[in-house]
């Protein structure tokens, strides 16, 4: 269609533009009442931080694998190296034989102690759940939440399943932040 409203052969093209095609019985969509936020005059509001927001935000490169995650600043290469046992763990935390609530407290205490001593890498032995009543790896399944969202999350940079030589599926490698 040309700019003068005539086609190539000179025929009138009226009714072929979008505006001409829309019928007269159309009406705007009702979006409902306008949302009004209550604010104090002269005061700006900031979004509230979520509970526990002082903890680092973790990313899971493979969302189907909750046992491998890293905080901002840790590359996928570093995360894969951690899963190979690099850096070599400087401390071992064995949670075998502890109940879930005891294990979380013990883990928090031992991680803070290791970090205060300047240690950067450790291996957490949690088992594979072979001796639990249901055969489920209760501690292994709870560990990602403890490390990424729990009391120690501000101390943790990354975690990944341990290599076979350090415990395999029954252990997790943890990389700690530097102590301040």
CA distance 58 to 27: 46
59-176 maps to CATH 3.30.1370.110:
yes
pLDDT mean values, one per 10 residues, the chain (180 residues): 54 60 65 55 41 64 90 94 96 92 94 95 87 75 92 94 94 91
Residue 94 structure tokens: 């064995």
Q: Which residues contact 50 (CB under 8 A, 6 or more apart)?
A: none
Helix, strand, coil tally for the chain in percent (to 5): 30, 15, 55
pLDDT at 165: 96
Element (H, E) at 105: helix 100-116
Sheet with strand 91-94: strands edge to edge: 58-59, 69-71, 156-161, 171-176, 121-125, 91-94
CA distance 20 to 176: 66
pLDDT at 11: 56
DSSP string, 88-101: PPSEEEE-TT--HH
Q: Under a CB-based contact definition with an 8 Å cutoff, are residues 78 and 86 in contact?
A: no
Longest dimension (CA), the chain: 90
pLDDT at 171: 94
pLDDT at 138: 87
* This model's pTM is above 0.75: no
Residue 29, by phi and psi: left (phi above 0), alpha (psi -120 to 50) or beta? beta
CA distance 128 to 98: 13
Domain boundaries defined on the chain? 59-176
pLDDT at 131: 66
pLDDT at 47: 35
């Amino acid at each position: 269609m040309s700019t003068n409203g005539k086609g190539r052969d000179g025929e009138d093209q009226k009714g072929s533009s979008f505006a001409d095609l829309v019928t007269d019985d159309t009406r705007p969509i009702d979006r409902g009442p306008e949302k009004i936020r209550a604010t104090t005059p002269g005061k700006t509001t900031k979004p509230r931080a979520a509970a526990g927001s002082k903890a680092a935000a973790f990313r899971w490169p493979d969302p189907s694998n909750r046992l491998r995650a890293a905080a901002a600043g840790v590359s996928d290469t570093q995360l894969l190296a951690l899963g190979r046992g690099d850096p070599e763990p400087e401390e071992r935390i064995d949670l075998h034989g502890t109940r879930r609530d005891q294990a979380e407290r013990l883990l928090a205490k031992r991680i803070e102690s290791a970090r205060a001593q300047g240690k950067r890498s450790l291996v957490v032995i949690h088992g594979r759940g072979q001796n639990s009543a249901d055969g489920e790896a209760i501690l292994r399944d709870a560990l990602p939440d403890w490390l990424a969202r729990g009391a120690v999350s501000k101390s943790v940079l990354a975690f990944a399943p341990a290599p076979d030589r350090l415990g395999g599926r029954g252990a997790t490698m943890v990389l700690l932040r530097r102590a301040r």
